[in-house]
Structure 1
Amino acid sequence: MLTHQLNLRKPLAFFDLETTGVNVIKDRIVEISIAKANIDGTVTVKTRRVNPGMPIPVESSMVHGIYDDDVANEPSFKQIAKSMAQFLEGCDLAGFNSNRFDVPMLVEEFLRNDVEFDVKNRRLIDAQRIFHMMEPRNLSAAYKFYCSKELIDAHSAEADTIATLEILNAQVKRYEGVVIKNEKGEDFVPVKNDMDALHELTSAKLVDFAQRIVFNREGVEVINFGKHAGKPVVQVLKDEPSYYDWMMKGDFPLDTKRKLTEIKLRAFNNR
């Protein structure tokens, strides 16, 4: 039996959501799991898949492994909302990055289905915040972890530069040849003492550094902000020619304007 040693005055419900995406307004829950830590030290676990009433994007399914067929015969959130709210009655809430995503998403689903779920009188505990506070992920922490040394004169350019060199050297020594699983569950070795491999591992494939334009999953350059977010750049420039002038005159980085110009020239000057 799962137990805990937390000092509780009311049950603490740890929960995690799998969803169709990360947009709290547009996306929906496809799975919810709750581990309710009770005052007596016991833990009650409840997991439920949910039919979101919309297709699950393939990129989301590849993250959590839940596809449309897996939830086709599951209840909608509306059908389980009242019983879920009852299960969480009187509970504080906890999770990992929960205050930024899971709590807002859950509250939105309850409100969408006309079920009262107020968090005003609930304590909201996010284990990720504690993790980041107690185990900082900065240069000094990395230097101590990988090199077992304190970083003296942190934030001086030379000290930081030399520390980073030592960290990468130590990372290659520690991880070269270490096999892990990729998102498909296949074995692979991510860290090699080879700069091409390390570049591929650590550098996102960028269009512009400000990421106003990004590649979609098909490798097509798309707008990454505003009313045209997600639309191919070439299509936007074709449908709305004035958009190019607006961006070129707007408060965008020169690098972004240069890349936009390159895309325009490539698409329209070869006709």
Structure 2
Amino acid sequence: MELKLKKPIVFFDLETTGINIAKDRIVEISILKVYPNGNKESKTWLVNPEMEIPAEVVAIHGITNEKVVTEPTFAELSKEINQLIDGCDLAGFNSNRFDIPLLAEEFLRVGIDFDMNNRVGVDVQVIYHKKEQRTLSAAYNYYCDKDLENAHSAEADTNATYEILKAQLDMYDDLENDVKFLHEFSTHNKRADFAGFIMFNDKDEEIFTFGKYKGKKVAEVLAKDKGYYSWIQNADFPLYTKKVLTGIKLRSLNNKL
């Protein structure tokens, strides 16, 4: 089944130096852009992360420090990548929890603003886990009856994810062929930031999910504990989390005016 799209959707996958959203960097990015008329374009880049790739990570994706040392940095690729995904919804495998947050960090790090206000994200892994509970390779075999060759190659993983989503739509009658529906179905909880440090409660109010103010309303904490905002801004939190926190603080100040 082909996707019913109102605007382009970008399937993408990242290979990185590790799994720390705030600290690790992209070493490979592959993008498959699917248009409403069914046309596709794809692009894959190796990226110089400007940091050492640990040996245990190289063992997983096979991208060595020597392989990327002469490749462009994310800063050099950022405008082209941003133009390619501009105005598009996003999709991936475990993308809501990892790929989108880490991509956002890379963009913010080089001064390009990034948010999800005018787009949605479809996480094919969440759909899969809700339905079958497996990995990407197993999902590809289950849904597409194919073996995933070159697993942990960003391009192979990206194309497999696109094929899996189409096969999921064929298999499950209760899945609507609508990106907004798939976004909502593939979202675990409503997050204010990508990393899940700030979530929405049942009244759509931002709350902290960690530390001494876990479960407390962010606006109330910032009003009561004047130093907490500064502590987060200077601590090792993702840039996007800090951006969201700043937005909440500014909104609270504006409400007082």
What is the TM-score of this pair, normalised by structure 2?
A: 0.51
User: Structure 1: which 5+ runs fail to align?
Assistant: 138-180, 184-271
Instruction: Flag the 1:103–1:182 CA change in 2: closer, same or farther, 3 A.
Output: closer
Does residue 5 in structure 1 map to residue 2 in structure 2?
Answer: yes
Letter in 2 for 1:22: I
After superposition, the C-alpha distances for 1:29-57 in whole angstroms (9 at most, x for unaligned) are 00000011111102111100100001110
Q: Which residue of 1 aligns with 2:130?
A: 133
Q: How does 1:35-114 map to 2 (within 5 A)?
A: 35-114=32-111
Letter in 2 for 1:100: R
Letter in 2 for 1:104: P
Q: Determine which structure has greater relative contact order: mean sequence separation of CA pairs < 8 Å that are 6+ residues apart, divided by chain length.
A: 2
Larger Rg: 1
Instruction: Flag the 1:52–1:123 CA change in 2: closer, same or farther, 3 A.
Output: same
Q: Percent identity at matched positions?
A: 53
Greater shift, 112-121 or 94-103, is seen at 112-121
Backbone CA RMSD of aligned residues = 2.3
1:120 to 101, 117, 120: 117
Instruction: Flag the 1:113–1:132 CA change in 2: closer, same or farther, 3 A.
Output: same
User: Structure 2: which 5+ runs fail to align?
Assistant: 135-149, 153-257
Letter in 1 for 2:5: L
Count residues in correspondence: 139
Task: Note the C-alpha offset of 1:112.
Answer: 0.5
Equivalent-residue separation in structure 1 for 2:133 and 2:29 (angstroms): 29
Q: Name the SS for the 1:74 alignment partner.
A: coil
Task: Note the C-alpha offset of 1:136.
Answer: 4.3
Equivalent-residue separation in structure 1 for 2:38 and 2:116 (angstroms): 23
Letter in 2 for 1:30: V
